[in-house]
Amino acid sequence: METSTRANNILNRIVEARRVSLAHRKRALPEVALKIAVEKKVPPPRDFAAALNQAGGINIISELKKASPSLGIIRQEYAPAALAASLAEAGAAALSVLTEEDFFSGSLADLKEASRVTKIPILRKDFIVDPWQVWETRAAGADSYLLIAAILDDSGMAELLELGRSLKMEPLVEVHSREELNRAIKVGARIIGVNNRDLRDFQVHLETSLELVKAIPEDCIAVSESGLKSHDDLVRLQLAGFDAFLIGEHVMQSADPAAALRSLRMAEHSGHSAA
């Protein structure tokens, strides 16, 4: 019971640490400075939604992640620019970059490195609870960002969605239950990710995706996240109605991440699968 209680508090601990960090960063860098950077220095955002909705293949958001609370260090040799370039070359539809420092050993510098060397859209994966973070995300060169329904109320989720759209960044709204899915639909989410990992205890169940996809509206882009390890997993979920897949640990733990990504996509162009 004690272990379960500790696990159930992981998400709360991450969000609390993020809020403390955010308070310091907002004092050091006013929102107006971020807005000027967005207006004057950052190239226009790439179309994240279109990248996930390409017909005829398996659309994978390949995630750059050095560590996680459940596994510790996932990848010792973590060079974001080299990884991003090789994953884009291997056919990733988009990239996701972990930028949370305390629990995932990420940083915005990782995202900036990835953005500089690739042309495909980049999602900022973090615990976003404040409009300031959306401006920070765009100023860093990201094209989309994650919103986690479990840590936001409806008005906060709606505000962060609308701000993203005003910046031509369509967020990925992540849900884990039917109740969270209903809330995401209610606030108008257009890209809905089903996380097979329960962020409260980090257990993974693919059935979560298979159960919830039936309730995702046809006009939304459906993304399955976490615990995806084989081409067969992706085919099964694609047939169930998913448009794209977010995959991190399976690829990051591989000795050759680009080869692991090609293997996941293998059957879509059988002539290239041996390359």
Tokens of residue 205, six digits? 């169940």
Instruction: Report whether pLDDT(154) > 90.
Output: yes
Catalytic residue among 86, 195, 209, 224: 195
CB neighbour burial string for 239-249, b if at least 16 within 10 angstroms, e if fewer = eeebbbbbbbb
- Sketch out the chain's domains with CATH numbers: 2-272 (3.20.20.70)
Residue 174 phi, psi dihedral angles, 5° rounding: -100, 130
For residue 226, indicate whether it is catalytic. yes
CB 175 within 8 Å of CB 192 = yes
User: Alpha helix locations (H) across the chain?
Assistant: 2-8, 10-28, 31-40, 48-52, 80-89, 108-117, 131-139, 154-166, 178-186, 207-212, 231-240, 249-252, 257-265
Instruction: Report whether pLDDT(267) > 90.
Output: no
Catalytic residue among 62, 68, 96, 125: 125
For residue 65, indicate whether it is catalytic. yes
Instruction: Report whether pLDDT(235) > 80.
Output: yes
Tens digits of residue pLDDT in 187-225 = 999 999 999 987 667 778 889 999 999 999 999 999 999
pLDDT for res 132: 98
Instruction: Report whether pLDDT(111) > 60.
Output: yes
Catalytic residue among 100, 113, 136, 225: 225
User: For the residues 71-80, what does the mean pLDDT come to?
Assistant: 91
Is this prediction's pTM over 0.85? yes
Distance CA 249, CA 91 (A): 17
For residue 195, indicate whether it is catalytic. yes
Q: How many CB atoms lie within 10 A of CB 258?
A: 19
pLDDT level of residue 266 (50, 70, 90 thresholds): confident
User: For the residues 170-194, what does the mean pLDDT come to?
Assistant: 97
Catalytic residue among 174, 180, 196, 224: 174
Catalytic residue among 59, 62, 63, 196: 63
pLDDT for res 206: 87
Instruction: Report whether pLDDT(138) > 90.
Output: yes
User: For the residues 103-122, what does the mean pLDDT come to?
Assistant: 96
CB 158 within 8 Å of CB 137 = no
For residue 225, indicate whether it is catalytic. yes
For residue 125, indicate whether it is catalytic. yes
Instruction: Report whether pLDDT(59) > 70.
Output: yes
